[in-house]
Amino acid sequence: MKAVGYFRETDGSQPLAEQSRAFLDFCRQNGYEAAATFLDAAAAGDDCAGYRQLVDFLKQRPDRGFTMVVIPSLASLGSDLWEAARRYFQLASLGVKVMCLEDGADPGSTLLSRWAEKKDERLGQKVQAAMRRKAVKGEVLGRPPFGYRVGPRRRLEIVPGEASVVRYIFRLYLRDGLGIRRIARCLNEEGMRTHRNGLWSMVTVRDILRNRTYLGTYSRFGVRVPASHPALISRDDFRRVQERLSSHRQERAKRRTSLFLLSGLAYCGYCGNKMIGVSRRQHWRRRDGSEKWAEYRYYQCESRTNRSLCDYHTRRAARLEEEMREALLGEKSLAVVAVPKAGDDAAVLQEAEARCRRLRGRLRRLDKRLEGYMNEAARGRLSVERMRSLSVAVAAEGLSLEDSLAEAQRFVRQQASAAERQQQKERALARLRDEWDRLAPLEQQALLGELLERVVVWDDSIRVFLRL
């Protein structure tokens, strides 16, 4: 087992030199190999370069499963409990073990117990306390769910037309056996619209099927008020729907997720909507009795996937990505179009800064999800194992977004002039040409994001639009 030390100078902590000696003593006493140490001094402030170097170091190690990150205490991971939680699950998502010298144990249990102690303080804030009091009375907070409106006493009242759609959705799913995608297609074909007069998608249908409000129970801020408003669905039907949804979730959880290089860049040439990456696993039995598994990765029109509105246009992922690469590098005479940007360098910089803001927004939403998992576990509504699994998945996605944000921020800094922007694209193109097989998928995707405006895809051809 190899050990990596991470030390941080905080108020009341030991000097970094003493923390380092304690780490080396721990390695000698337990027979661990000290692979590296990383540190953040107090003078660095919020710029925790040492922690980022630690993450980069771990990403490059093929033996992460046999590597342990050793910290003096939980406080070493962050300036507050929230930052420590995020970093703990980030390290766990990389497949390494974390251990505290303070008590010789994994800090996960300590983290959850301290979070539980802070929970009441966070929920006791004045605004949330007032909202909880309203929730206890069954008064509606925020937008009412589809099928209801807010009545004069701030209670939910049935909207007859929308309520019939809700019952129709449950009947299609439970009694007619339709899947979520086919239900969305039926609703769109029959001219029904959502709350905001939009088209139905898999997400909006699934959210309705999961919403306990249709049982007549109002839930908000951990408060449940039974029989606060008229129910639309019987408890038996709702239970059977959740059982079917749960069985589907368990099947999907077994599937491996993989990166699609053209996510957000590929567009359907027939309807103009985005194409999304889809993975399918197929299982069959040979004549000799042996079993065979195969995984198929392809891009499919999002309109077809979520709304069943477009025809069945798909392209194998590996072939489409290779075709894009050949067009980009000029290895084949395929259609490549340069897309000039409106305005001057300021417009390009503005677009890049907007991308940074979008990435920060996605990171904030992930933070809220992680906080929600921790709160649910602290209240005993989520098992520790399930909380850890969900939090590790969120942390892994967060690390990927942080890489993309760092790349986007570097891009913003490099946009001082048109000449420098052109040099940056030439460097990106050179890296794709010369280092393609050595680049990690996330690096390939980031470089493609710099060079490509979009890739329009037809069944037998593509057109690559370059950024200028």
* CATH number, domain with residue 32: 3.40.50.1390
Q: Mean pLDDT for the chain?
A: 81
Instruction: Give the HSE-up count for residue 379: Cα atoms under 13 Å, Cβ half-sphere.
Output: 14
My answer on whether 332 and 449 are in the same domain is yes
| pLDDT above 60 (res 96) | yes
Instruction: Give the HSE-up count for residue 203: Cα atoms under 13 Å, Cβ half-sphere.
Output: 4
Which positions ≥6 away from 61 have C-beta within 8 Å? 67
**Rounded average pLDDT over 146-156:** 86
Q: Which of 253, 275, 308 is the last residue of a domain?
A: 253
Which positions ≥6 away from 23 have C-beta within 8 Å? 3, 5, 7, 34, 37, 70, 72, 101
270: which 2 tokens? 């027939």
**Rounded average pLDDT over 165-170:** 95
pLDDT tens profile 238-266? 999 998 888 765 555 444 456 788 888 89
259: which 2 tokens? 């990166």
My answer on whether 163 and 100 are in the same domain is no
**Rounded average pLDDT over 297-312:** 77
46: which 2 tokens? 């919020």
83-92, 318-327, 328-337, range with the lowest pLDDT = 328-337
Q: Do residues 211 and 221 touch, judged by C-beta distance below 8 A?
A: no
Is the pTM higher than 0.85? The answer reads no
Residues of the chain with pLDDT > 90, as a percent, come to 14
Give the residue with greater pLDDT, 19 vs 125. Answer: 19
My answer on whether 68 and 135 are in the same domain is no
Reported as type and span, the H/E element at residue 351 is: helix 345-378
Q: What is the pLDDT of residue 47?
A: 63
Residues of the chain with pLDDT > 70, as a percent, come to 83
My answer on whether 453 and 328 are in the same domain is yes
Domain for residue 98, yes or no? Answer: yes
Q: What is the pLDDT of residue 252?
A: 52
User: What is the distance between the alpha carbons of residues 464 and 323, in angstroms, rounded to a whole number?
Assistant: 10
pLDDT tens profile 340-351? 444 455 677 778
Q: Is 114 left (phi over 0), alpha (psi -120 to 50) or beta?
A: alpha
My answer on whether 320 and 453 are in the same domain is yes
Q: Which of 97, 121, 145 is the last residue of a domain?
A: 121
**Rounded average pLDDT over 270-276:** 88
Domain for residue 217, yes or no? Answer: yes
pLDDT tens profile 432-447? 888 888 887 878 888 8
Residue 407 binned pLDDT confidence (cut-offs 50, 70, 90): confident
| pLDDT above 70 (res 431) | yes
My answer on whether 58 and 186 are in the same domain is no
My answer on whether 233 and 334 are in the same domain is no
Backbone angles phi, psi at 143, to 5 degrees: -75, 135
**Length of the chain (residues):** 468
Domain for residue 24, yes or no? Answer: yes
My answer on whether 20 and 94 are in the same domain is yes
State whether the Cα torsion 29-35-37-38 is positive or negative: negative
User: What is the distance between the alpha carbons of residues 196 and 453, in angstroms, rounded to a whole number?
Assistant: 30
**Rounded average pLDDT over 165-186:** 92
Domain for residue 292, yes or no? Answer: no
Q: What is the pLDDT of residue 343?
A: 46
My answer on whether 59 and 23 are in the same domain is yes
**Rounded average pLDDT over 351-359:** 86
**Rounded average pLDDT over 446-464:** 87
Residue 76's domain spans which residues? 2-121
My answer on whether 98 and 178 are in the same domain is no
35: which 2 tokens? 């692979």
136-150, 222-236, 299-313, 378-392: range with highest mean pLDDT: 378-392
Residue 208 binned pLDDT confidence (cut-offs 50, 70, 90): very high
Closest by CA position to 212, among listed 180, 238, 194: 238
Q: What is the pLDDT of residue 163?
A: 93
My answer on whether 330 and 433 are in the same domain is yes
Q: What is the pLDDT of residue 385?
A: 87
93-102, 250-259, 260-269, 405-414, range with the lowest pLDDT = 250-259
**Rounded average pLDDT over 177-184:** 90
Domain for residue 244, yes or no? Answer: yes
Domain for residue 52, yes or no? Answer: yes
Helix (H, G, I), strand (E, B) or coil at 392: helix
Give the CATH number of the domain where residue 247 resides. 3.90.1750.20
My answer on whether 137 and 62 are in the same domain is no
Beta-strand (E) ranges in 159-221?
Answer: 218-220
**Rounded average pLDDT over 172-177:** 91
Residue 8 binned pLDDT confidence (cut-offs 50, 70, 90): confident
| pLDDT above 80 (res 393) | yes
Q: What is the pLDDT of residue 415?
A: 66
Domain for residue 38, yes or no? Answer: yes
Alpha helices per DSSP H over 193-264 = 202-210, 235-253
Q: What is the pLDDT of residue 256?
A: 46
Residue 130 binned pLDDT confidence (cut-offs 50, 70, 90): low
State how many domains the chain has: 3
Q: Do residues 161 and 141 touch, judged by C-beta distance below 8 A?
A: no
Domain for residue 261, yes or no? Answer: no
Q: What is the pLDDT of residue 186?
A: 92
Which 8-state DSSP code applies to residue 76? G
Q: Which of 253, 270, 285 is the last residue of a domain?
A: 253
User: What is the distance between the alpha carbons of residues 309 and 188, in angstroms, rounded to a whole number?
Assistant: 8
Which 8-state DSSP code applies to residue 305? I
| pLDDT above 60 (res 45) | no
